[in-house]
Amino acid sequence: MTTTTLAPPARAVRAATPRWWADAGGAAAWVSLLVVTALWVAGGGVQAVAESWTDSLGRLTGLLASDLLLLQVLLMARVPVVERAFGQDRLARWHRWTGFTSFHLMLAHIVLITIGYAGDAHVNVLAELWDLVVDYPGMLLATAGTLLLVLVVVTSVRAARRRLRYESWHLLHLYAYLGVGLALPHQIWTGTDFVSSPWSRAYWWTLYAVSAGAVVFYRLGLPAWRNWRHRIVVDRVVPEGPGLTSVYLRGRDLAELPVRAGQFFQWRFLDGPGWSRSHPYSLSATPHTGVLRITVKDLGDGSARVAGLRPGTRALIEGPYGRLTGERYTGGPVVMLACGIGVTPLLALLGELPYAPGQATLVYRARSEAELAFRAELGWLARHRGVRVVYLLGPRAHETSWLPAGAPPLHHLAPQIAGAQVYVCGPDAWTAAATAAARGAGAGPIHTEQFAW
């Protein structure tokens, strides 16, 4: 065990994100949809319903689909203030919802416009669709973009996702950016609402610029700058147990990296083929000590390669992400509920939070003694910082339980649970059950973050 991973509580690297940011962000999303609808009304959309309801509603569904597409891009542009206000798990759910809604509106747009134009020209619907694709400016690009978005949507359906490796799904999902880029330009060249209204043009150009700028800056520029500045490399690789490996990393000015305990990075290791596929790994030690540590469980695919990393291997990071942090912790009892590899961010938090001796309890769930990790470090925390560590071993009591058979209820495992701040990390179903138990025991604020794709 090294003392660098068990430093005293670290300095706060940033102030807590004001709670009103989440409300303001949600309101801004709804306002954008109202603005689009208002611009459609100002452009004669309501009056046009009487002349051709298919044309007019086709315009509206297309505008709403475009707005949601760009909001979807913004949701996952990794804007730090947005990530901290909502959390990646909530952003991922909204991203999914806006994606499917936008896709259905886009299909409605295509159907309504084709039927409306065919009726106006008194021609066959299929013939009109062919004419739209071939003869209208930007429509060939829009068709290619639509097909790419169809690919992304089909592979995002849960049944299809279960059949794909994460890496394959993630690569296919990146085509959404290309699909959006190809599908939107026809609005600029032929869209009635865009061409005829300076207010509409100003709104759409602003939204395009903000969306594209956020992606370029936060998904490309900022990670590139941080990787250039910090130059992170593998220092050593340490087995922690069966299928569990810790990687210690060093670099330049790592103490200045704006990360908190509980957060994660997307990691790429330049160790050969497959380096371009990133993987989300949480820090398993308190940052700001000059050393970073991640601990990875061998779950197949890229995670199996971590055990074979060699010292000096270059690492590329994107992040930090996540809000399973202590930025809102102001003292008092704290209870942490961990299952399996979920102990890693909580271990880092135990090293950073400024709790008093006897105020912290860690309930650590594992199937067997062999699966427990960091026994020495948890013992150090128990001796030097007064952490109460409770190990729960054995099979689940039943399919929906988060406890092993014969385990006492949560208020016996953690007598301070009532009113305490609670941090939960583990598999999705287990986390949901543990969170429900914490609420039932009268817990205070509950902090958790899901990483399922």
- pLDDT tens per residue across span 37-90: 888 888 777 777 767 788 888 888 988 988 998 888 888 788 887 777 777 777
CATH number of the domain that residue 304 is part of: 2.40.30.10
Residue 292 domain flag? yes
pLDDT score at 169: 67
Average pLDDT over every residue of 248-267: 92
The DSSP H or E segment spanning 241 is strand 233-241
Angle at 42 between CA 37 and CA 44, to 5 degrees: 100
- The SS3 assignment for 122 reads coil
pLDDT score at 210: 92
The DSSP H or E segment spanning 159 is helix 158-161
Residues 142 and 91 in one domain: yes
Residues 198 and 213 in one domain: yes
How much of the chain exceeds pLDDT 70, in percent?
86
Plot region of 334 (φ>0 → left; ψ -120 to 50 → alpha; else → beta): beta
Average pLDDT over every residue of 387-409: 88
- The SS3 assignment for 325 reads coil
Q: What is the pLDDT of residues 412-447, one digit of tens each?
A: 999 999 999 999 999 888 999 999 999 999 999 999
Cα(252)–Cα(271) distance, integer angstroms:
20
Contact 346, 423 (CB under 8 A): yes
Residue 326 domain flag? no
- The SS3 assignment for 388 reads strand
pLDDT score at 13: 42
pLDDT score at 5: 44
Q: How many CB atoms lie within 10 A of CB 223?
A: 20
Find the range with the poorest average confidence among 144-158, 326-340, 373-387: 144-158
Of the candidates 29, 67, 72, the residue with the CA atom closest to the CA atom of residue 214: 72
Q: What is the pLDDT of residues 118-169, one digit of tens each?
A: 887 788 888 877 887 777 777 777 787 778 777 777 777 766 666 666 666 6
pLDDT score at 3: 38
For 360-376, letters b (16+ CB in 10 Å) and e give bbbbbbbeeeebbbbee
Which structural domain, as residue segments, surrounds residue 250?
231-321
Domain boundary among 198, 224, 250: 224
pTM for this predicted structure: 0.78
Residues 301 and 347 in one domain: no
pLDDT surpassing 70 at residue 220: yes
Domain count, the chain: 3
Residues in the chain: 453
Residue carrying the six token digits 């700001």:
288
Domain boundary among 191, 209, 224: 224
Contact 453, 169 (CB under 8 A): yes
Residues 88 and 39 in one domain: yes
pLDDT surpassing 70 at residue 373: yes
411 or 185: which carries more pLDDT confidence? 411
